[in-house]
Each structure stands twice: as structure tokens, then as C-alpha cells.
Amino acid sequence: MRNFFFTILLVLFWGQTLSQESPYELYKNYSFRRAISSLTNKKELSPYDNYIIATSFFKMKDYTNALFYYSKVNYDAFSNTIFRDNFISFYIAALNNTIETSADLYSNYSYISNFVYFYTNNIYFEEVEKNYVNILWKTRDFDKIVSYNFINTNLSFFKSFANLFITNSLFQTELPVIDVEISKFSILLDYFDLLDKRVIDNLEQKYFENLISYLIRKNKFKELENILKEYNIKFGESDFYYRNYAFTKYKLGNKEEAIGFLEEYIKNGKRVSWQSFKTFLDMLLKEKLDEKAYSYLKKYKDFYGPAYYEYWVRILKKTDRYLELYNWYLRLSKKVGILPEYEREIFRTLLRNNLTLAKKMSLSFKENNKFYYTYSLALINYQTKHYKAAYTNFLKILVDYPFTYEWIVSLKYEKELRDSNKALFNEKIITKINTINSKKSFSKDDLLFYYAVDHYYPEIKNKYKNLFHRLNTAISNFQNNFPKGIVRNEKINDKFNEFLEAEKNLPEYMCLERIKLLEKIFDKKYSLSLFYDNYNFFTNRGMEHYIVSYLNGFFINYLDKKEYVILLDKNDILKIFPTNHLEKIETYITDRDMALWAISFVREESHFRKEVVSWANAIGIAQIIPPTFEMIKRAIKLDINIYDFDDNLLAGIYHFKYLLNRYKGNIFFAVAAYNSGEGSVNRWRQRYNYIDELWTECVEYNETYFYIRKIVFSHFIYNYLVSLK
């Protein structure tokens, strides 16, 4: 089956490659690899063609080839000012990214140098100048920095720094005084090895401490050892010194000495900071001295107030003290109130390790958080075969919390258990209907009920026609009033008009250049009205992938809850749940429901942003990490590129399909594995032998836990949209 899928993908992929799309359309769609392939087959390349090839290479992080094609373009060949500004902006950025790896870049370097001096009216000049100065700094051309006349005075600190390296004679008369923001001081430390010893001696304490932090980040602990000695002589012993002295010893391999040093300091110290105490706990936990960490934190925790909560929860988990964890939080909640940032994690810890305590906590805190604990009790009761109790809770979620993740899950189990609980079902529904019917006006939650009953009791609408007619009218009013309630801002309108004037002469295919221009003019300070009122304009120019993420956030803030999205007109829902990639996905996955799961995970991975890179270095629309992408590349034997839109989507769908096969169609395992890896999922499957939805509550990574919930919600919305079509 898997080999058959490989073959299908190969055929489809090469079919796409051989398609007749123009290279300009491919460039607009971020299909950079295919755009390059199409253009390089031309006999003669125009300046615009060379620009497109170069910028495609740039976007695929191939800066050497980007420079090669940029160097073929004469700046003056472009009559369009914005086009020229983009050209020079990308050109110098490519040079900045290549300067440390390419030996012969002098011609490029000279060209950019001339540009910086003579073309200061470029719309991206600030960005260009910053890259230019960075190039000088990276190449240690300190003389040029000193002689350069900065347009952006915020960069002038480079000139002060460059003076430190030009000549040692600078120090013969007096020591230089460094007076700069700490964030900028870190740039100077890139050349720590070049700094004159007397400069370091002359540093104020705040710079000295920043230098110590820099050496820690760079893992230069041998140098740090000497710097700490000087710090001690210059500023005396302090909490900062003790902590970093011990940490340095620890990193140099003297672990027992480091732990012993901090232990003695804690026993004798009058004012041990939480940062130092936390460093001590971290060392103990890394050395698996969990019981020792427990005894120390238990003894000293009251000195640190709320700061200790996170470590206390963590240590009680590591030492299997689940009853103590439960009792501690029970006492704490009565004393200081519910702490949402800890409560769910504590509950899920108990769920993973002690189902009885988890159930007890659900009952104890049910009144404070009816929604989540009602759902959790339903799952626990179902897992332990207390079906009557489970049904009561599932039914409550079904009636009172429509279109939440918990409601979507409850739909499945309520339907399964309803036959033996019909009287309870009818009673609950009728009570809900009578409550809503007694109102003169409806809340948004009441309106949700109108759509919700379609999923579990559609025939009820015929019995209460008047009520549901009133609800339907209220929903129509809500949909009509939605655009009217959006706040409009004259400044936003003025900036948008400025953008329109600047972008009007750009060729239609220049999508990424338009996005760059939009970011420049708005400084990424957008509004709901900007993207909502001009939605067709942005989508017609290929910018939909850029605005979906912003619109999603704006919509949820405007509506208050994401489940209220269901109340919007279908065309408004499609603005944040677009389906334009569904057709392409269905060429890879022919099963409609699996294709909807696929577009759901793509939406939640990236909100369709084609260039997004996560903190974990997951790249592109499908958020593939490079090692996984390389594995897929070897498997399908094609020269694909992770930064190319088509290639990235192909790899993501391929990997998702593989995981579905790997876990025999279990969507919860497949989705979790896409986010956290197969190893984690396999470990959790061994530990938690629960029904899928209860297993999800036990997932150990918070990111993966919320990721699964988001995708289940998105899949429901996409199913709903498809049913409307």
C-alpha cells in the first residue's frame, strides 16, 4: 500500500512539473523551484526574468545562486521604482547572508556600496543600510564603518564600536567609555576575542554581567572562569556571582563541587534569589537527585511565593507524589483562588498516573470549571464503563456548550449511548428549548443552539417552528450586522491608499513584493477592517495565504469565542477557513474525509502562510522540519526544496498519509505524531491505554495536546463548509 502511494505521488508530482503554468504564475504562487526551471529553459532572459530567478533562489535560501543572477541585472534597467527598490533590497540581503561563506564577492560588495551612497531615497533604504553596515561589521571593515555617514542614526553605535578595533593607540591616553543599550552591546561581543583587555576592565557592572551572559550563551566557560574572577575582584561577591560561579563549575564538569557550593550558599545565605535557588534545583534534577530537590524546595518554598509553584508541580510529578500534589493544590486554591495556568496541567498529571485522584479532582473543582471537568468526568466514566454517569455529562456538554472541541467529541458518545437514555435526552432538550423560548432577545450562545440541534435532533425544529423561526431571523440579523460592527480607522484607510498608489505599477505576479511593501507601510500593525473590507483585493493578488492568520486572530477577538465562527455567513467563514488548497490536496488523498483532515492540519500548522518558520525550525505551509523533509526527499527520489510551496505541501501530505498508514487510520495518533514525532506517540500509547479522546487528555506535550484539539475543531468546520456546498 505504501509503495503504491509513493508511485501515485511521483506521477502526480511530475504531472504538476510538466504543467503549462507560466513561470510568472508559479513565482506568484511561491512555486520557486518550478519557476526557476521554467525560466532557465528560455533562450534569452530579460532583467525581470533574472530578477525572478534570483529572488526564487533567495527565497529557497540559495544565496550564492541568487547573487549570481542578481549580478546579471542592471539596476537602471527597471523603470518601476518599487521594483527597483525590491531588487536592491533582496540583493544586499543575499550578500549579507553570503558574505561569511563566499570568498569572492568584491564586485557585489562594491556595487552595493555605491548604491548605499547614492540611492538613499529607496523605500527600503533603512533595511538596505542596516544590511550594508552588517556586511562591513562581518567583514571587519572597521575603517569603512568609521568613515561612513550614517543616514539612520540608530546604527551609529557601530561607529563607536569600530573605533575600539582600529588601533591600539586609542588606549594610550584614556580608556574608552562604552555607553550603549545592553541589546546593542551584545553586537560588540561578537568580537569578544578582539577586544582589548583594558576595555573589559573598564566596563560598568551592567555590561560586565551582560558579557558573562554572552559567554554562557556561547558556551565559553573557560573564558568565563577568568572573567568571573575579575568580576569578583571588581564588584565583590554577590548572588549573581555565586550563581554563575557554580554554573560555570557545573558546565566544566565539576558537578559535585558546583552543587555543593550552591548547597552551602543556600544553607548560609540570607538573601538567596529565586534565580539562584532555581539553578540549584535544575542541577539536582539533571543529576536525577529528585528526592534531594524535593526536600530542599519543601523546606524553602515559602520564601519564594508564587515563583515556586511551577517547580513544585514539576518535582512532585517526578517523585510520584500525586496525592500530595492534589492536596497542595486543593489547599492553595482555597487560599489564593484557582490558578488556571497550573490547574489543567495538575489535573492531566493525575489523569496520566492516578485515575481515581483525577476523578476526585474533577468532582472537587467541577463548580469552578464546569465545562472542562464535566467533559473529563464523561470520558473517565465512559472509560471505566459507568455509562449512565458518562451519558449525563456528555448530554450536558451537548446541550450547553455547542461547537466547542468537547461538544464535537460528545456528539460521538452521546449518540452511541442515547438509546438507553432517551427519556433523559428528551427532558434535557425540552428544558433547554423552554429556557430559550422564554427570552425576548437571544444571546450568541442561544443562536448556536439553532445550528447545534441539526447535528443531534434536527426533527425538533418542526415541533417548535416559531422558536426556530425567531432564532433564524436573529442569526440573519447577526450576519448582516457583523460587517457593520467592525471598527474603521481613517489612518488605516490612508495607509491603504498609500499602499495602492505604490503597488499599482507592480506586475500582477509580484505577490511577495506586495507583501513586503504592505509590511513596510503598515509596520505589520493591521486591523480587521483592512483585511475584511479589502479581502477580494488581497486574494486576487495572491495574498490570501498572508492575511488568513491575521483575520483569524481578528475574528476570534471580535467574536469573543472561536465557536461563534459558526454563526457567520458562509463567505465570512471561508475567509478564515479557506478551501482553495483542497483541490490540490485531493490529488494526493482521494478520500474526501482524509483530505479534510489534511487541510485541517495544514491550516493549524501554518494558517496557510507559505514562508512561516517556527521556533522549532518547522518550515513552510506544512511546517516540515528539515530532517523529516530530507527523509521524504530520499524516499520519493525527487530533487524537491523545502522552501518551495508545492514541494513543501507535497512533503507534508506525504508524511501525514504515511502516519495515517502507520497508525492504521487513527487520526488522533497520526495528528499527534505529525506534531511531536512517532517516538513520543509510541511512548504515550504504551503508557495510556485509553479511548482516543481520553488518551488525548494524557498527551504530555502541551503544544501537541492543544494542536490535536484545534485540528478536530477545524475538521468539523471544514466538514460543515463542504456540506453547505
Q: What is the pLDDT of residues 531-560, one digit of tens each?
A: 999 999 999 999 999 999 999 999 999 999
Contacts of 488 (CB under 8 A, 6+ apart): 529, 533
The vertex-102 CA angle with 97 and 103, nearest 5°, equals 145
Whether the predicted pLDDT of 496 surpasses 50: yes
Distance CA 296, CA 301 (A): 8
What CA–CA distances, in Å, run from 12 to 9, 47, 571, 631, 655?
Answer: 5, 33, 31, 19, 16
Rounded percentage of the chain residues whose pLDDT exceeds 90: 67
**How far is Cα 133 from Cα 162, in angstroms, rounded to an integer?**
11
Instruction: Determine the Cα–Cα distance for residues 109 and 89; give it in Å rounded to an integer.
Output: 13
pLDDT digits (tens, 9 = 90+) for 63-107: 989 988 988 887 777 778 888 888 888 988 888 888 765 545 555
| Residue 146 scores a pLDDT above 90 | no
Nearest to 567 by CA among 395, 464, 442: 442
Between 120 and 668, the higher pLDDT residue: 668
Residue 488 has pLDDT above 70, yes or no: yes
| Mean pLDDT in residue range 220-226 | 92
Burial of 382 (0-12, 13-18, 19+ CB in 10 A): buried
Question: Is 191 exposed, middle or buried (CB count within 10 Å of its CB: 0-12, 13-18, 19+)?
Answer: middle
Q: What whole-number distance in Å separates Cα of residue 664 and Cα of residue 692?
A: 13
State whether CATH 1.10.530.10 applies to domain 582-724. yes
CA-wise closest residue to 507 among 23, 28, 6: 28
pLDDT tens-place string over residues 160-181: 888 877 765 444 555 566 777 7
In the chain, where the domains are located: 44-162, 486-576, 582-724
Region of residue 508 (phi > 0: left; psi between -120 and 50: alpha; otherwise: beta): alpha
Provide CB contacts within 8 A for 198, sequence distance 6+.
Answer: 171, 175
Query: What is the end-to-end Cα distance of the chain in Å, rounded?
Result: 32
CA-CA-CA-CA dihedral for 89, 92, 98, 104, to nearest 10:
150
Looking at 54-68, 188-202, 418-432, which range is the least confident one? 188-202
Helix, strand, coil shares, percent, the chain, to 5: 75, 0, 25
State residue 202's pLDDT score: 77
- How far apart, in whole angstroms, are the C-alpha atoms of residue 224 and residue 208? 11
Q: Which residues pair with 613 in a beta bridge?
A: 619
pLDDT tens per residue, range 31-66: 999 999 999 888 899 989 999 999 999 999 999 899
Is 624 in a helix, a strand, or coil?
A: strand
